[in-house]
Structure 1
Amino acid sequence: MENLEHGHSQKEIKERLAQIPSQNYLRDWIYGGIDGVVTTFAIVSGVVGGQLSSLVILILGFANLLADGFSMAASNYLGTKSEVDQFQRYKTIEEKHIDFIPEGEKNEIKQIFQNKGLHGQALDQVVEEITANRALWIKTMLQEEYGLPATLRFPLKSALYTFSAFLLFGIIPLIPYVLVMNNSFIWSCFFTAITFFVIGSIKSHWSTKSWLYSGFETLIIGTVTASLSYGIGLFLHHLLT
């Protein structure tokens, strides 16, 4: 039998379902990492295409690394906080509705599970069980009526993951220029390509795609972006000189 992600004995199912769902910050990490590499290497490519000096690459590269990294982290913080605020708003609404019009909210639960195929005694039992537990009742309404997630991410953590990944991966295209390596741009291209592939491969652990496919997918997207930036820099150089 093919290896499965987890067991299905009664004990294993009970233990797994009893665990509190954890917040997933993969999106923030991938988002920050890829954008850090793309934007920094885009600057490197644009400056090289414009035939400017390595000093310009370092100045613009590190300025972008800090400013854009902070900007992305701040944006992600505000975006995640908006999700939390929305969740709290709808939770307050449902709490008020349950307090003042419980029968109406009970009917909503009934209709929700009718749409899932339950009828008769089974439906009545499910409705009674859910509405007997206020916390479960509110949670069910938030998920089923508004499509809200079961767990919320912390805005500050989201921002820190984004900023850390942006700095960690965004500095890689600049390493050959910091170390004053010969053929710095070629080495920067090589390091950046490897980074794109590694990020994509790591991302595959949380998707149905193979690590090879995911790695090359991310590499191609990053290469197209960098090539566009290099072309723009080269075009502007010839246009303005």
Structure 2
Amino acid sequence: MKENFERKYLPEFVYGGIDGAVTTLAVIAGAMGASLSAGIVIIFGFANLLADGFSMAISNYLSVKSQVELHRYHKDSPEYKKEARHPFKTGLATFISFIIIGFIPLMSFVLAFFMPSINEYKIAISIILTALAFLFVGGMKGRIVKKPIAHSAIETLLIGGIAAALAFIVGYILRGLAG
């Protein structure tokens, strides 16, 4: 059962988790590049988590639902004999992964709000925790698909890091627009 679940919903875990961490870190990096306050980062971070997480989940739901409908239409065709996934479960898996992994970059900003002593380290903590999240998601992917765990983890870390760097650069270039 567990192996079947992993095989069916691994794409949602990886997709939701990586995108959650990337987009949240991108929001943080863009805001930091624009020299916005930590309060704004928290607001944008939570808005991103809920809106983007929901958008990805519902998009995944509709995508898988379309596959199921196509499968029903072509049920006698050999190329459509794939094991069907449940649209609601795929959407839910995407959303949960997005929210949990996506909160990791934001965690240090929320903690710094309540624990001012870590305020000066919140960006570094966010980057380190997000890097660990990328390594975890990539490593899990590698383990489940029986590929080298280190390679998969580093690949995920590099892709996520590039996305965050791009967001920081855009925020830095456009920082004058923030007032």
CA spacing shift, 1:217–1:149, aligned 2, 3 Å: farther
Output the amino acid matched with 1:178. V
Question: CA separation in 2, counterparts of 1:149 and 1:55?
Answer: 51
For 1:94-173, what aligned pairs fall within 5 Å after superposition? 94=76, 142-143=77-78, 147-173=79-105
Of 199-208 and 67-76, deviating more is 199-208
Match of 1:42 in 2: 26
TM-score by length of 2: 0.89
Match of 2:67 in 1: 83
| CA shift digits 1:113-161 (9 cap, x unpaired) | xxxxxxxxxxxxxxxxxxxxxxxxxxxxx22xxx224310000000000
| CA shift digits 1:70-122 (9 cap, x unpaired) | 0000000000000000011112xx4xxxxxxxxxxxxxxxxxxxxxxxxxxxx
Question: CA separation in 1, counterparts of 2:19 and 2:147?
Answer: 21
Q: Is the 8 A contact 1:204 1:214 kept in 2?
A: yes
CA spacing shift, 1:240–1:170, aligned 2, 3 Å: closer
**Corresponding position: 1:29 with 2:13:** yes
CA spacing shift, 1:236–1:213, aligned 2, 3 Å: same
| CA shift digits 1:9-46 (9 cap, x unpaired) | xxxxxxxxxx9x94611101111010000000000000
Q: Is the 8 A contact 1:22 1:151 kept in 2?
A: no
CA offset at residue 237 of structure 1? 1.1
* Aligned-residue RMSD, C-alpha: 1.8
Match of 2:43 in 1: 59
Question: CA separation in 2, counterparts of 1:225 and 1:150?
Answer: 33
Following superposition, which runs of at least 4 residues in structure 1 exceed 3 angstroms of deviation? 238-241
Unaligned 5+ segments in structure 1 are 1-18, 95-141
Match of 2:168 in 1: 230
Identity of aligned residues (%): 41
SS in 2 for 1:179: helix
Match of 2:106 in 1: 174
Q: Is the 8 A contact 2:24 2:49 kept in 1?
A: yes
Question: CA separation in 2, counterparts of 1:175 and 1:167?
Answer: 12
Question: CA separation in 2, counterparts of 1:47 and 1:232?
Answer: 10
Output the amino acid matched with 1:153. R
Which structure would you say has the larger Rg? Answer: 1
State which of 124, 131, 142 in structure 2 corresponds to 1:186.
Answer: 124
CA offset at residue 232 of structure 1? 0.4
TM-score by length of 1: 0.67
Match of 1:218 in 2: 156
Question: CA separation in 2, counterparts of 1:199 and 1:26?
Answer: 10
Q: Is the 8 A contact 1:176 1:188 kept in 2?
A: yes
Question: CA separation in 1, counterparts of 2:81 and 2:34?
Answer: 47
